Structure 1
Amino acid sequence: MAPFEDDYVPTLKILLIGNSSVGKSALMLRFTNDMWAPEESSTTIGVDFKVKMVMVGGKPYKLTVWDTAGQERFRTLTKSYYRNAQAVLVVYDITNRATFEELPRWLKELEANTASDIVKVLVGNKLDKDSSRAVTTEEGEDMADRYNVGFLEASAKSNTHVKECFMEMVETIIETPTLWGQSTTGLLLPRGDDILELEAAREENGGLSLCQC
């Protein structure tokens, strides 16, 4: 039996949220394809996603990484994609203070649309532009402490702490029994049917192109 057969590989759903232009798509592309999405890329419309296989503890897992649009006009659309997510990266740009000041709105929306046991991590992106920093590391840590979420600073461009952002969440999901259901065969499965959701999203969004949003 192939180790990565869909019927036997647990699927985890990870969502990225935050303002437009903070680099959500760049983080997703760097993690899933080890590629850099240039700054001039077009903005995500609606929702995009990538799939990545990882090994944890010698076992395979399929990650579906969902990138949501940050513009206000897409808020109704993207709220539906919180369903069945097991982890969420809340991203801001350390060089743009306005994106940091919007975090309470994103974190409150996250709390309203997800279960209390979901894994949440605050990510200050664009660490490669540290000389242009508008938000201190201490401010990011204080925000994370206030909302009881994890915290990391990262750079999709220089590939700094990107893998850590995702893999620490994956390990936490695996260690959190309430984020999992049990199949009749005894195989651990995520809550909901994300494979069907992926196909529905593909049809609904018409093969959206990847971008930095």
Structure 2
Amino acid sequence: MAARGGSVLEPGWLLSPAGRPYLDSILQKNQRRVFGLLERPVLPPTLAAPTVTYKLFLSGKSGVGKTTLVATLAGTPVPPVHHETLGLEATTVYWPAKLRATGRPLIFQLHFWDCGDGALKKFEHLLPSCKEEADAILFLFSFTDRSSFEELPAQMSRVVGPDEGNLVRVVVGTKFDLSTQADVTEGDVTAFEATWGLPVLRASSGPGAGGGRGGLARVAPLLDALVERLWRRDQIVAGVAPEDEGSPLA
């Protein structure tokens, strides 16, 4: 995803030699580390970086791949068989990135909230809880399920109210690697982006895509795009140009 005015983050930095110490901080035995509630990446004092925390809620009909997407981004095993999430699952992902203007590394702490579509419909209090203090809503559709794509406008209107313009809206198309069987074409995506002014991010359905170093290369563009959008939102709210070297932390 290209941000207007160019990326404020250095693309691919985490996978470069300069980012190696920060990459090592989120790995354990060459696999993605699963962090406990009170754990965080450990770095030498000379490389310490501020932590920026965001909450992201995933919205989408059952079967589009919300749980699979979170597992892929977190580098944890992907469920081999689909089953609807019965309640609410929260997953924390740490993602180091580097500001281009200042050369300053940051560590983004992303809290992904995944709630089953059936549970959301059954318990009215769940949606407000998922959106409480949220920074972004990820609206998911599947490239192999046209109905999930066609329902996006109604879904966005239902989930985000007119007074919730502070929420970053992100659209993610899952199962992009199965696009040879796609019910949603590139022309459909281009028309949606032009109408709604929202770029569509793409995610594959490969199991274990983000587990090791090789898998990280697959999920890095999507995670970079997410933190880019959130960081830009914060700078706009603060009244500071994202490229300004004096940009405050959120």
Q: Fold-level match, TM-score > 0.5?
A: yes
The equivalent of 1:53 in structure 2 is 94
Cα distance, 1:161–1:125 mapped onto 2, change above 3 Å:
farther
Per the TM alignment, residue 140 of structure 1 is displaced from its structure 2 partner at its CA by 2.0
Name structure 1 gaps, 5 residues minimum. 181-186, 190-213
Cα separation, 2, equivalents of 1:75 and 1:118:
22
Distance 1:94 1:27, change over 3 A: same
Contact 1:153 1:161 in 2 (8 A): no
Q: TM-score, length-normalised on structure 1?
A: 0.72
- Corresponding residue of 2:232: 175
- TM-superposition CA deviations, 1:96-119 (whole Å, max 9, x none): 111112111211123317731432
List per-residue Cα deviations over 1:65-113 (Å, max 9, x = no partner). 1112223624624421112221222111111111112111211123317
| 2:85 aligned with 1:28 | no
Q: Residue by residue, what CA displacement relative to the aligned partner does 1:36-55 show, whole Å, maximum 9, x if unpaired? A: 332x2321123211001111
Alignment of 1:1-213 (within 5 A): 9-38=51-80, 40-57=81-98, 58-71=105-118, 73-74=121-122, 76-80=124-128, 81-112=130-161, 115-157=164-206, 159=209, 162-176=219-233, 177=235, 188-189=249-250
Q: CA deviation at 1:32?
A: 0.8
TM-score by length of 2: 0.62
Q: Does structure 2 retain, via aligned residues, the 8 Å contact 1:107–1:147?
A: no
* Matched position secondary structure for 1:131: helix
Distance 1:33 1:161, change over 3 A: closer
- Residue identity over aligned pairs, in percent, reads 22
Note the C-alpha offset of 1:152: 2.0
Relative distance call for 1:161 and 1:117 in structure 2 (3 A) is: farther
Larger radius of gyration: 2
Give 1:60's aligned amino acid: I
Amino acid at match of 2:191: D
Q: Distance in 2 between matches of 1:163 and 1:156?
A: 15
Higher RCO (C-alpha 8 Å, min separation 6): 1
Q: Which residues of structure 2 form unaligned runs of 5+?
A: 1-41, 45-49, 99-104, 210-216, 239-247
Q: In structure 1, what is the Cα distance between the partners aligned to 2:223 and 2:122?
A: 25
In the alignment, the residues of structure 2 paired with residue 113 and residue 162 of structure 1 have an alpha-carbon distance, to the nearest angstrom, of 32
- Report the number of matched residues: 181
Q: Is the 8 A contact 1:125 1:155 kept in 2?
A: yes
